[in-house]
Chains A and B, each alone.
Chain A
Amino acid sequence: MKPYWDHFYHQADIGIIGAGPTVSSAFAQAGLALTAVITELDKVRPVQEKEISIEAPELDILFFDYINEIIFLISTQGMLFSEYTVKIENLSLEATIKGEPIDVQKHAPAVEVKGATFSGLKVFKNNQGFWVAKCIVDV
């Protein structure tokens, strides 16, 4: 099975989900799911790089912080990201994320993501042995 991302149902907002053979790959996929809430992934060229470095007391809080850090970069750098490389060791995360400045004509952003919530927030290993990271984001 390949790593994958998806969205899941929420009446007003939207759920993001990332899955892969490692926690790191699940987080990386969830980053793609986040971008896909805003625009089509193939419209975003991975030409500029940003670094994320965070630590948290629990794995699901680490995911909450990671998604919020990406949202912070989208907001303050005016960028969208389409490539995520994540390395997690002992609740410490280092990520390199690549993307490009938002071009309203080209990316036609559908919505702005305000933040990750604790609703549906979960990082776990599923029955197929895949790591899954998910939460609802407020839009």
Chain B
Amino acid sequence: MDLSYFKKISHWTWQLMPEDRMRVPAIIFASESLLAEMDDKVLEQLSNVATLPGIVAASMAMPDAHWGYGFPIGGVAAFDPDLGGVVSAGGVGFDIACGVRTLLTGLHFEEILPRKKNLADLLFQTIPAGLGSKGNLKVKNKDMDQLLLKGAKWAVEQGYGDKADLDKIEERGTAKGARPEFVSAKAKQRQEREMGTLGSGNHYLEVQVIEEIYDQKVAQVFGLRQNDCVVSIHCGSRGLGHQIATEFMREMIMEAKRQKIYLPDRDLACAPINSKTGQEYLGAMRAAINCALANRQILTHLVRQTFDVVFPGINMPLLYDVAHNTCREEYHEVSGQKRKLFVHRKGATRAFGPGHPDLPLEYRDVGQPVLIGGSMGTSSYILVGTEKGMQLSFGSACHGAGRTMSRRQAKKMYTGPKIVQDLDQQGIEIRGHSYRGLAEEAPDAYKDVSEVVEVAHKTHLAYKVARLRPIICIKG
């Protein structure tokens, strides 16, 4: 991207002042090199988002931003319902509430090492992953509606995990205001056999070693010790979320026309928050958030069962669960005034700072754990939300590395067997159903996650707490 488009606000903050139909500026948090590598489409999409009614402060992109559809991936935008603010299905994305949760194991790296292969095989056998895989749980009718209303709480009630887990999940495991009646029969049908499945693409389950700790005090609060292992699960709301996104994107095209909302790109299709379509989407989207939370909860149970076979009696508490693709009703201070806003985070993580009432008591003094996923073979990071981030980005941070290379390019440049061999040499047990899928997800097809995290840290969006290195990776 051409840097001359921007006014440089700080070393890592770049601003495009409003032009044409833009109502607010566009802001990108990035180093010079990350910005230079970004596709021009990111800025075009950010500028388009800035034209939407009721947008507040700025249309923002996190340092891992890349070209999406409608909104960029890594895009953050808040809308005020009282100013005609909108909600956009494309602004949330297809995999609603796709996210990461991390479990502590209390196991030292060297305890796992001799059993690594066995553990990888068992996890791969137990966790349904990839297209064509089915969960053991079939959920229909009333049970489905309960699941969509209660989220992870429903899963715990069915025996998947502990009540204590719920405290460590955003909104205590249940997105309020879910309306299963606005979720179509087709969306529910798509989910009947998909609960407790990982999905595919960049979704994974990893066993990771805590390789470096940057902030001892916060790490201690989070229960992180150097050389201990954790398990991270990256997946989302599966077919149900995909179908809701598909149907509402189409519906919002019609609604935007009816409401005479100017759309520079049809993927920005949206509806006023205070409209029937807007409210129906929010109800359905929250149901999809609950679906994702229940799904990660079921997978957590399967992971614990598997670990218990290899390490009998093991206790694996949940560190935290964060979602990436959401629109959430939140209160933020804007120009000294507290306002109710609907914050879209598409490929971005909520990162609330210390003292926020929504945080679990244990974490309230330090801030929210922010879980940043790596890309099969590269590091992942745990950060903590900051007070400054609340002001800069409505309490948001990056979510991962972000792609730099298309799947087609990656497929041409890498082969599955070579990737397995390379990862093996790095001490990573990789398991997947498809060599082509592994090639398309090659670690080098993504940005350097360390540079992305460094920018988040230096801009004060979220502070570094720990770096994790994978030793087992189950790919969807």
A102/B67 in contact, CB under 8 A? no
Question: Which of the 9-residue segments A5-13, A24-32, A88-96, A125-133 touches chain B?
Answer: A5-13
Contact indicator A115/B132 (Cβ below 8 Å): no
Find the A residue at minimum CB distance from B266: A118
150-169 of chain B: CB within 8 A of chain A? none
Residues of B with C-beta under 8 A to A71: 242, 246
Q: Are A108 and B69 in contact (CB under 8 A)?
A: no
Report the bound CA distance from A104 to B66 in whole Å.
31
The stretch that binds A, out of B139-147, B294-302, B431-439, is: B431-439
The residues in B between 196 and 254 inclusive whose CB is less than 8 angstroms from any CB of A are 199-201, 239, 242-243, 245-246, 249-250, 253
5 further A-B contacts with Cβ under 8 Å, apart from A12-B66, A136-B69, A138-B94, are A75-B190, A109-B200, A109-B433, A117-B90, A138-B242
A119 to B200, CA, bound (A): 22
Instruction: Tell whether, in the assembled complex, residue B267 and residue A10 are in contact, meaning their CB atoms are under 8 Å apart.
Output: no
Chain A residues near B132 (CB-CB < 8 A):
78, 102-104, 107, 109
Contacting pair B246 A11 (CB below 8 A): no
A12 vs chain B, min Cβ distance (A): 5
Contact partners of A76 in chain B: CB under 8 A: 189-190, 192, 239
Q: How many residues of B contact A (CB 8 A)?
A: 49
B133 CB–A CB distance under 8 Å? yes
Q: Does A68 contact B (CB under 8 A)?
A: yes
- Distance of A12 Cα from B400 Cα, bound (Å): 13
The distance from the CB of A137 to the nearest CB of chain B, in whole angstroms, is 10
For the complex, is B406 an interface residue (Cβ under 8 Å from A)? yes
Asked if A61 is at the interface (CB within 8 A of a chain B CB), the reply is yes
- Establish whether residues A38 and B131, one from each chain, have CB atoms under 8 Å apart when the complex forms: yes
Q: Which of the residues B68, B266, B269 comes within 8 Å of A12, measured between beta carbons?
A: B68
> Cα distance A121–B250 when bound, in Å?
12
A9 to B190, CA, bound (A): 28
Q: Contact check, A7 vs B408: say whether CB atoms are below 8 A apart.
A: yes
CB closest residue in chain A, given B405 = A11
Interface string of B338-366 (1 = CB under 8 A from A): 00000000000000000000000000000
